[in-house]
Amino acid sequence: MASAGLQLVGYFMALAGLVGSICSSALPQWKQSSYAGDAIITAVGLYEGLWMSCASQSTGQVQCKLHESLLSLDVHIQTSRALMVVSILLGFVGAVVSVIGMKCTKVGDENPVVKSWIAVLGGVFFLLAGLCTMTAVSWYAARVTYEFFNPSTPVNARYEFGPALFVGWSAGSLTVLGGAFLSCSCPKPEERGQQYYRQSQPSTAREPPVKRGDQSV
């Protein structure tokens, strides 16, 4: 089985990835105004995220507006929203399940093989969460790239990658890597055989009968 140290490292990496996914989902800087090329530098910087769009002025004042209608949003924004929500939910489930299956906890010590499989299940949840985050961020970034190089897009209306995308990529990588470490808890075949042999043994060993010789008075 995987060592308790490897499980602990994987768990904290995946947990850090979960926190990063939450921060990335909440940040409004998924894309920001581009000043490349002949774009005119204005005193207002525009940002847009999954839930709101913001305008930052040179004086430091920031005004944000929530996306009022869900159905009027672009498909890539709706899809990225759904994937990030699913990723966060899977991450929470993986965090709970992994705590039960880790070797450093006392829950289920009487059956270490089942406990290892529970840790593997928690790692799978983290892997799925990380893949959802990576898919959402990469899809959004691909859309921003397409609009940036589209000739029909006005120069002063182009956007570039925002900090939230890089946070999402880092969070997804940590979650996937941590889930992979937890998935290494899969028990070996010989360990499963030993566990099956111990379970098949009777709880109390029978004492062999003792023959007593005839006693003469």
Containing H/E element for 11? helix 4-26
Q: Which domains does the chain possess?
A: 4-28+70-200 (1.20.140.150)
Would the CA dihedral through 99, 104, 110, 114 be positive or negative? Answer: positive
Residue 197: predicted pLDDT: 41
Q: Taking Cα atoms as reference points, which of 26, 21, 27 lies closest to residue 174?
A: 21
Residue 189: predicted pLDDT: 58
Residue 114: predicted pLDDT: 85
Residue 209: predicted pLDDT: 52
**CA dihedral of 98, 103, 109, 115, whole degrees rounded to 10:** 40
Full-model pTM: 0.80
Residue 137: predicted pLDDT: 97
- The first and second tokens of residue 142, run together, are 């691909």
pLDDT 10s per residue in the chain (217 long)? Answer: 457 888 899 999 999 999 999 999 999 999 998 776 554 555 678 899 999 999 888 777 888 899 888 888 889 999 999 999 999 999 999 999 999 888 877 776 677 788 888 989 999 999 999 999 999 999 999 999 999 988 888 877 788 999 999 999 999 999 999 999 998 877 665 554 444 444 444 544 444 555 555 444 3
